[in-house]
């Protein structure tokens, strides 16, 4: 079966960093871009960026540039999203999602992870 | 960024009903529109892409239509398990953006 399995919930202090993992199974990891999307409490969905697992190329939304780093380890089919200088308004569920495109960006997210809850609290 | 506006923000319907949710884009997005379902406490799941193409494994009770700026998601024969929030997303222009969601309640 095709799955994206994310790491567990995190509680961080303001100013700290968090790194969320997303392990793919059931498909060729390098064949599909991985996107990161977050959802703050009671809010809608917000796209953060993508990583090409094949090349390692990344692109992030302007809002997160300078604070987010996306990486991958192809040996274990896992993508990572690290967010630095955390603030209280970074409290959210963070989702990884697979791009439908085959070795290209299609921008439609056809498979989602179950999400990782990140709580920022002093 | 393209703004996506859904209506209604919430609705209540009975088992067996047919419901329609609307999504309007602030500019032409051709047919680059997707719909997602998010059940309470769960991750989003993909329903429809390219405005009207059903994601594999999604029951045919779900359908989408529209092009340009106005789109609809229709759910036929509503069942209790359809209780969820439904989001639209445009992927015509960078960055991809989402509607605020429509919360569907079952009477």
Transcribe chain A into DSSP letters: --EEEE---EEE-TT--EEEEEEEESS-GGGS-EEEEEE-TT--EEEEEEE-TTT--EEE-GGGTTTEEEEEEGGGTEEEEEE-S--GGG-EEEEEEEESSSSS----EEEE---EEEEE--
pLDDT at A42: 84
Closest approach of A17 to chain B, Cα-based (Å): 23
pLDDT at A100: 93
CA distance A27 to B9: 36
Residue B82, classed as helix, strand or coil, is helix
pLDDT at A102: 87
Look at residues A89, A102, A120, A117 and name the one whose alpha carbon lies nearest to residue A53: A102
Residue B5, classed as helix, strand or coil, is strand
For residue B40, pLDDT over 90 is answered with: no
For residue A43, pLDDT over 90 is answered with: no
Show residues of chain B in contact with A110, CB under 8 Å: 46, 49, 55
Kindly tell me the sign of the dihedral angle through the C-alpha atoms of B49, A80, A51, A68: positive
Contact between B50 and A115 using a beta-carbon 8 Å cutoff:
no
For residue B23 the two structure tokens come to: 């999504």
pLDDT at B97: 96
CA distance B64 to B89: 13
Q: What is the average per-residue pLDDT within A69-81?
A: 98
For residue A79, pLDDT over 90 is answered with: yes
Name the residue among A106, A107, A112 with its Cβ closest to that of B44. Answer: A112
**Mean pLDDT estimate for chain B:** 96
For residue B41, pLDDT over 90 is answered with: no
Q: What is the average per-residue pLDDT within B40-61?
A: 94
Contacts of A13 (CB under 8 A, 6+ apart): A86, A120, A121, A122
Contact between A115 and B43 using a beta-carbon 8 Å cutoff:
yes
For residue A100 the two structure tokens come to: 């439908």
Which range (A70-74, B39-43, B52-56, B58-62) has the least confidence? B39-43
Provide the 10 A C-beta neighbour count for residue B9. Answer: 12
Name the residue among A44, A107, A110 with its Cβ closest to that of B55. Answer: A110
Of all residues in chain B, what percent carry a pLDDT higher than 70? 100
Query: A113 to chain B: nearest residue by CA?
Result: B43
């Amino acid at each position: 079966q095709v799955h994206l399995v994310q790491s567990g919930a995190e509680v961080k202090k303001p100013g700290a960093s968090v790194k969320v993992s997303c392990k793919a199974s059931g498909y060729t990891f390098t064949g599909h871009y991985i996107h990161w999307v977050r959802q703050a409490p009671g809010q809608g969905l917000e796209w953060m960026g993508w990583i090409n697992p094949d090349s390692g190329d990344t692109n992030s939304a302007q809002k997160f540039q300078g604070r987010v780093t996306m990486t991958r380890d192809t040996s274990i089919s896992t993508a990572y999203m690290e967010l630095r200088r955390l603030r209280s308004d970074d409290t959210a569920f963070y989702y990884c999602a697979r791009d439908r495109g085959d070795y290209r960006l299609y921008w439609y997210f056809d498979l989602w992870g179950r999400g990782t809850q990140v709580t920022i609290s002093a | 960024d393209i703004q996506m506006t859904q209506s209604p923000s919430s609705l209540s319907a009975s088992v067996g009903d047919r419901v329609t949710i609307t999504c309007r884009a602030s500019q032409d997005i051709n047919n680059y529109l997707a719909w997602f379902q998010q059940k309470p406490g769960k991750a989003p799941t993909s329903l429809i892409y390219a405005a009207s193409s059903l994601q594999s494994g999604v029951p045919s009770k779900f359908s989408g239509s529209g092009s340009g700026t106005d789109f609809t998601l229709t759910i036929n024969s509503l069942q209790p398990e359809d209780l969820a929030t439904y989001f639209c997303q445009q992927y015509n222009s960078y960055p991809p953006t989402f509607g605020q969601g429509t919360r569907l309640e079952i009477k």
